[in-house]
Chain A
């Protein structure tokens, strides 16, 4: 059963992404409201994939990505950024820090499911 960590400060987006993830067989969603909350969830649960927003209070998505990549235990977890920042330089910056994929909002659910499936099956690496 893959555990997907959804890091998003907006309850609407969290619910929407969790809804979409229900379509992935056996997927279990763990929600976090910001980067710090996400680090706590990473320590307490075995996470297979992270879906992460960029603009969040307390700790933003980019900081979280760099911390995850710098941690030997979590460094191989695929990270998909889901954000309103649609500019090319934002995408490049997130990928350079260590994100595996970049999906600008508003999200297309089918595209998100396809991307998550790709990384869960290891085809994205």
Chain B
């Protein structure tokens, strides 16, 4: 009987111990569950913070790239503007170069000869080909009568260009004052009038006017004057005047020299007996 009681007590004790063990295991499992949850939470939080850092890094990089892009855009616009500026300057230089070539050729031709009629022919060529005039006359002052007389004409018969007194009309006034005249309407008049030019350029050596170029009509395709035309007019005013004046003096002196030479030859001839 005692033995039975003792076995029963031991069994109770064992059951008690087993239950305690069971409770402890359950607690351990619960704790383990909590820890796992915590670890998962921490892992998630860490991942989130890494993502945030990466996003921030990317945002900074994008901002930097955007700044760089804007800077490149600005530089591109600047270079494009500079390029346009260079292109327009190149065109200007090109035009200037062409104009200078025209002026050089005109000047070169004007001073290429001392023959008076040749110089007049060159002036006529320049006025036709470089300025684009169809009807014009070159008038020089006759020292004896102090009047302007046509020495060369183009598109008009020389007889249609009468003598002009200095100070009279447009041509006379240009000769007197030495200032170029440009009509407002370059189309000119329907009928030719020798006293009504559309352009009148004085031929001047310093301030001394020796004659004028009187233009009455431009070529059909020439509607107005450009900068180079005015440069050409200036060139004609000076260089043509010098060329005309010196060639006329040279031709006159040549003629005189020939006359004197002939006279001397005549004197040297032995008298016939």
**B262 contacts the other chain (CB 8 A):** no
Are A87's CB and B220's CB within 8 A? yes
A86 in contact with B219 given A19-B105, A110-B94 (CB within 8 Å): yes
**Which residue of chain B has its CB nearest to the CB of A90?**
B220
* Cβ contacts B216-260/A at 8 Å (1 or 0 each): 000111100000000000000000000000000000000000000
A-B contact count (CB 8 A): 59
CB of B223 to closest CB in A, whole Å: 10
Interface extent on B, as a size class? 20 to 34
Return chain A residues, CB-CB under 8 Å to B108.
15
Are A16's CB and B105's CB within 8 A? yes
A19 in contact with B220 given A10-B129, A12-B106, A12-B122 (CB within 8 Å): no
Q: Which of B67-123 contact A (CB under 8 A)?
A: 94-95, 98, 101-102, 104-106, 108-109, 122
**B128 contacts the other chain (CB 8 A):** yes
A113 to B104, CA, bound (A): 18
CB of A19 to closest CB in B, whole Å: 5
Return chain B residues, CB-CB under 8 Å to A12.
105-106, 109, 122, 125-126, 129-130
Could you write out 18 A-B pairs with CB less than 8 Å apart?
A10-B125, A11-B122, A12-B106, A12-B109, A12-B122, A12-B126, A13-B125, A13-B129, A16-B129, A19-B104, A84-B134, A87-B220, A104-B219, A105-B128, A105-B221, A110-B94, A110-B95, A110-B98
Q: List chain A positions with a Cβ less than 8 A from chain B.
A: 10-13, 15-16, 19-20, 84, 86-87, 104-106, 108-110
Q: List chain B positions with a Cβ less than 8 A from chain A.
A: 94-95, 98, 101-102, 104-106, 108-109, 122, 125-126, 128-132, 134, 219-222
